[in-house]
């Protein structure tokens, strides 16, 4: 929600601060301020001998004529000062190495160096890491919005996530994962927003592939209710930012209740949630700037599918043949996603109609119910159209009363075991004049008709189908928002990282 960027360096730091603030804007602000201290006049402390870190003293006589080239060389090495920020993205391109502070740490910055003291005032050394964010492209490239860029990055970030995956092994989740996985008998997932929807999707995989009873809770609910802890439960916190206050507090609450087996799936290295959990999985979505999460969601799904497969294998429920088939499907995902992204022109045509509505219903069944929830969330977040998602079997228990010619009903209709049931639900909508927008698989045999619009996905993707089916819903929300002229990347009143309750 808030962001800080600071610098102490020999060069003019104002552009660094302004650019840093601009990059932090995505976290959601309504105000900002800058303060700069300058001391240009000749003073004793500026005069030579010039000391560095108290170890090197430089004395020179006269004018340094090649000072410009020296300055350029030294700036290109990047060791011209020290910076601080609440988000590494603010400093990408200006700093190469970074240190994450622990809770309660106090840091003192000078041009020459930094010193850190812990909450008790004792000097401490914290690990210095290479700044990965410098590698992440923070520019828009040919795209109009970050959200659009991030939707189209999904094939490459998923390829990046799976390219080294040759088997499902506990070590993917940390050195102690094998011992932890041997002890667990159930899973409790804690998350917020889009990450909660990836948790809901994972429940289907964990129960069907690994046969582990799984519950999924909204972090802000779990932390305040009485629950009955089972010490053999794996507590799984999912978060793009790794900084969401409710998810972090829920994880700490679980630990206070006695849960020792904790795993964090996060997209930001060194983030608080990642550091709080015993086991980790770092998703490889890269920096996500658009407030509405897209590529972080699909990379979370990949991570959670890998977790389900790993647990299944560890529990003797995955033979080599099935493991190879699952790995093959994961490796083919980027190509399949490219096929889905090619549907954009058809989706843009639908978005034009949807943009004129003020309400929409989303339907899905089984593992695609959380995908319908995610589609509705995307639409309401960025287009401000009121959207609700239902498990299609629930239509008759309430939402059917809302269905008229004015109600668009977006349906996720893959060719799975529930398709025939879903077709009956669609008939109920048609009978009331509702306008259906159906994403079906190529072989679903649902044909377009008056009031029934169909876009066919290129292929049915079995267990991993949710990863493909969410993409057209992201595109639909994006193009609907564009048609309504909203601020797609920074929707009103929403923030990327919600670090307060």
How much is the CA Rg of the chain, to the nearest whole Å?
26
Residue nearest to ligand G6P (CB): 193
Shorter beta-carbon distance to ligand G6P: residue 240 or 415: 240
What is the nearest approach in angstroms of ligand G6P to the Cβ of residue 423?
Answer: 32
CA torsion sign for 404, 405, 406, 412 is: positive
Catalytic residue among 203, 313, 490, 496: 496
Binding site for ligand G6P (CB under 6 A): 192-195, 239-241, 244, 247, 291-293, 494, 496-498
What is the nearest approach in angstroms of ligand G6P to the Cβ of residue 245?
Answer: 9
- Residue 59 region by backbone torsions, left for phi larger than 0, else alpha for psi between -120 and 50, else beta: beta
Cα–Cα distance for residue pair 349/182, rounded to 1 Å: 51
What is the nearest approach in angstroms of ligand G6P to the Cβ of residue 247?
Answer: 5
What is the nearest approach in angstroms of ligand G6P to the Cβ of residue 270?
Answer: 14
Shorter beta-carbon distance to ligand G6P: residue 272 or 412: 272
Catalytic residue among 2, 396, 421, 445: 2
Shorter beta-carbon distance to ligand G6P: residue 192 or 436: 192
Q: 213 vs 178, 196, 465, CA distance in Å?
A: 19, 17, 22
Which residues have C-beta within 8 Å of that of residue 455, sequence separation ≥ 6?
343, 346, 347, 350, 437, 438, 439, 440, 472
Nearest to 439 by CA among 452, 425, 424: 452
What is the nearest approach in angstroms of ligand G6P to the Cβ of residue 301?
Answer: 13
Instruction: Please check whether residue 471 is in contact with residue 337, taking contact to mean a CB–CB distance below 8 angstroms.
Output: yes
Cα–Cα distance for residue pair 196/270, rounded to 1 Å: 21
Shorter beta-carbon distance to ligand G6P: residue 162 or 293: 293
Angle, CA of 28, 31 and 37, to the nearest 5°: 120
Concerning whether 295 is annotated as a catalytic residue, the answer is no
Concerning whether 32 is annotated as a catalytic residue, the answer is no
Shorter beta-carbon distance to ligand G6P: residue 277 or 291: 291
Active site residues: 2, 496
């Amino acid at each position: 929600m808030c962001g800080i960027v600071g610098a102490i360096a020999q060069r003019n730091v104002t552009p660094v601060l302004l650019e840093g603030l601009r990059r932090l804007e995505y976290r959601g602000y309504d105000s900002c301020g800058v303060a700069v201290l300058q001391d240009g006049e000749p003073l004793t402390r500026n005069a030579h001998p010039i000391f560095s870190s108290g170890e090197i003293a430089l004395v020179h006589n006269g004018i340094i004529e090649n000072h410009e080239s020296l300055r350029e060389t030294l700036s290109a090495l990047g060791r011209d000062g020290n910076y601080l920020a609440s988000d590494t993205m603010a400093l990408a391109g200006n700093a190469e190495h970074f240190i994450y502070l622990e809770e309660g740490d106090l840091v003192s910055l000078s041009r020459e160096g930094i010193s850190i003291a812990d909450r008790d005032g004792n000097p401490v050394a914290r690990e210095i890491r290479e700044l990965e964010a410098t590698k992440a492209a923070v520019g828009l490239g040919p795209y109009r919005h970050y959200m659009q860029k991030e939707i189209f990055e999904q094939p490459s970030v998923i390829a990046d996530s799976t390219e080294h995956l040759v088997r499902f092994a506990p070590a993917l989740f940390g050195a102690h994962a094998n011992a932890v996985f041997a002890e667990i008998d159930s899973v409790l997932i804690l998350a917020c927003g889009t990450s909660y929807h990836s948790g809901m999707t994972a429940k289907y995989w964990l129960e069907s592939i690994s046969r582990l009873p799984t519950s999924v809770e909204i972090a802000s609910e779990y932390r305040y209710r009485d629950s009955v802890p089972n010490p053999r439960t794996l507590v799984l916190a999912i978060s793009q930012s790794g900084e969401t206050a409710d998810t972090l507090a829920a994880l700490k609450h679980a630990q206070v209740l006695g849960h020792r087996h904790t795993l964090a799936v996060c997209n930001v290295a060194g983030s608080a949630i990642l550091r709080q959990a015993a086991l980790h999985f770092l998703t490889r979505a890269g920096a996500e700037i658009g407030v509405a999460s897209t590529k972080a969601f699909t990379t979370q799904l990949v991570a959670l599918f890998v977790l389900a497969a790993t647990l299944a294998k560890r529990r003797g429920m995955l033979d080599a043949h099935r493991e190879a088939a699952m790995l093959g499907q994961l490796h083919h995902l980027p190509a399949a996603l490219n096929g889905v992204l090619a549907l954009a022109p058809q989706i843009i045509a639908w978005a034009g109609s949807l943009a004129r509505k003020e309400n929409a219903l989303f339907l899905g069944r089984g593992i695609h119910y959380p995908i319908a929830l995610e589609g509705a969330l995307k639409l309401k977040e960025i287009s401000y159209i009121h959207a609700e998602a239902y498990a299609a079997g629930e239509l008759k228990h309430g939402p059917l009363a809302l269905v008229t010619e004015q109600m668009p009903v977006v349906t996720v209709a893959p060719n799975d075991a529930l398709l025939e049931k879903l077709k009956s639900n669609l008939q109920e909508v048609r009978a009331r004049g509702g306008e259906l927008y159906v994403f079906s698989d190529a072989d679903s045999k649902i044909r377009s008709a008056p009031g029934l619009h169909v876009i066919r996905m290129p292929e049915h993707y079995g267990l991993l189908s949710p990863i493909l089916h969410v993409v057209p819903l992201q595109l639909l929300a994006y193009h609907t928002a564009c048609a309504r002229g909203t601020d797609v990347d920074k929707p009103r009143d929403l923030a990327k990282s919600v670090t307060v309750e």
